Amino acid sequence: MFSLDLLLDAVVIGVLLGCFYGAVSLGLSVSFGLLDVPHVAHPAFLVLASYAVYFLNENYAVDPLVAGLLITPIFFLLGLAAYRLYYETFEKRGSDASVRGIAFFFGIAFIIEVLIILQFGVDQRSVTASYIGKAWRLSDIRVPYRLLVAFAVATALTMLLTLYLSRTFMGRAIRAVAQDQEALRLMGANPIKVKQWAFGIATAVLGIAGALLIIVAPVDPTLDRAYIGRTFCVVVMAGLGSLGGTLVAAIILGVAESIVLTLFGASWAPAISFAMLLGILAVRPQGLFGRRS
């Protein structure tokens, strides 16, 4: 059944949902898009962040977003350690590093999953905050506040990260290492240190993204598996390394999913999203905003 009202509603919800997808994919856009690290444990770190936020919210009544900010430095350090371990054990050793790297990160993901189960059990967890469970009324459209929060945070995060990468010395170094690692070495900089720093930033972003994940919906220890496909889809569709593009691609995915869910039947939603990815890659192999290599 079709009506303009429903379509409008689907687009609004889709844009907000897309922003949420964007926020949870931003870190991957840096680690996979810029650094070429096959970081399949990205969603596992994301779920870990959600549980950390849950812990702070449940035990100390900290607002989930504030909790997300509080854990950011810890996740930054975690990112530094994870990259160093990956570099020493895999990347340093040569050409098939990326294939073996996938195995490494899958291993990390499973370890995180099991640790969460051991600590928190298998049940799903959620947080409480004044903006969860209520909606903003705009004539006939009702928009859940939690999605508006995701929208605001995703936009702010993308802008901050874009500014950081384009305006700061370290940010430019990260872009440089993504373009030509050897050239950076010739300039006297240590590309590994730059990459490690960038990986730390990518993981730190997950602190806030994890907060959004548990604000939008409850989490359980195996939720990471549901996000592997979605986050990689967003990053590849955007074009590797494009942060603004990541947000736009995520919004396209969110709107497509929402329209299909509302108007054509829920079963088709994942098929349409991934068909769009294939279609876009067929026309633009470098992704929507990627540069031709």
Partner 1 sequence: MSKKVSKPGSISRRRLLASAGAAIAASPLGANLLQAHAAPIKIGMSMPQTGGLAGGGKASLLGIEIWRDDVNAKGGLLGGRKVELVVYDDKSSASETPAIYSKLIDIDKVDLLFAPYATVPTAPIMPMVKQRGLLLIGNFSFQVNSKVGHDMWFNNAPWGPADSWATSYLDIGQKAGGKSMALLSADQEFAQNLAKTAREVATKRNLPIVFDQAYPPNTVEFSSIIRALKATKPDIVYVASYPPDSTGVLRAVNEIGIGDSVKVFGGGMVGLQFGAVMENMGSLLNGVVNYNTWLPEKSMYFEGTKEFFDKYTKRAVEAKIDPLGYYLAPFGYASGQLTEQAISAVGSLDQKALAKHLRENTHKTIVGPIAFSADGERKETAVLQAQFRGIVDKNIEQFRSAGKQVILFPDNLKSGELVAPFEAART
**What does the alpha-carbon distance between residue 32 and residue 37 come to, in Å, rounded to a whole number?**
5
**Residue with Cβ nearer partner 1 (147 or 204):** 147
**Residue with Cβ nearer partner 1 (92 or 225):** 225
**Residue with Cβ nearer partner 1 (91 or 220):** 220
Least distance CB 86 / partner 1 (angstroms): 26
CB 290, CB 246: distance < 8 Å: no
Q: Write out the DSSP string of 98-115.
A: HHHHHHHHHHHHHHHHHH
**Residue with Cβ nearer partner 1 (81 or 148):** 148
Least distance CB 206 / partner 1 (angstroms): 17
Q: Which two tokens stand for residue 252?
A: 């396209």
**Cα distances (Å, whole numbers) of residue 66 to 19, 63, 70, 153, 209:** 19, 5, 6, 12, 12
**Residue with Cβ nearer partner 1 (20 or 75):** 20
Least distance CB 49 / partner 1 (angstroms): 17
Residue 144 forms beta bridges with which residues? 135
Least distance CB 222 / partner 1 (angstroms): 6
Q: Write out the DSSP string of 215-277.
A: HHS-B-TTTHHHHHHHHHHHHHHH-TT-HHHHHHHHHHHHHHHHHIIIII-GGGHHHHHHHHH
**Residue with Cβ nearer partner 1 (57 or 203):** 57
Length of the chain: 293
Least distance CB 217 / partner 1 (angstroms): 5
Residues that bind partner 1 (CB under 8 A): 1, 3, 5-6, 9-10, 13-14, 17, 20, 114, 117, 121-126, 128, 132-135, 142, 144-145, 147, 216-218, 220, 222-223, 226, 258-259, 261-263, 265-267, 269-270
Q: Which two tokens stand for residue 38?
A: 């096959």
Q: Which two tokens stand for residue 18?
A: 């897309």
DSSP helix/strand/coil, 136: strand
Least distance CB 213 / partner 1 (angstroms): 9
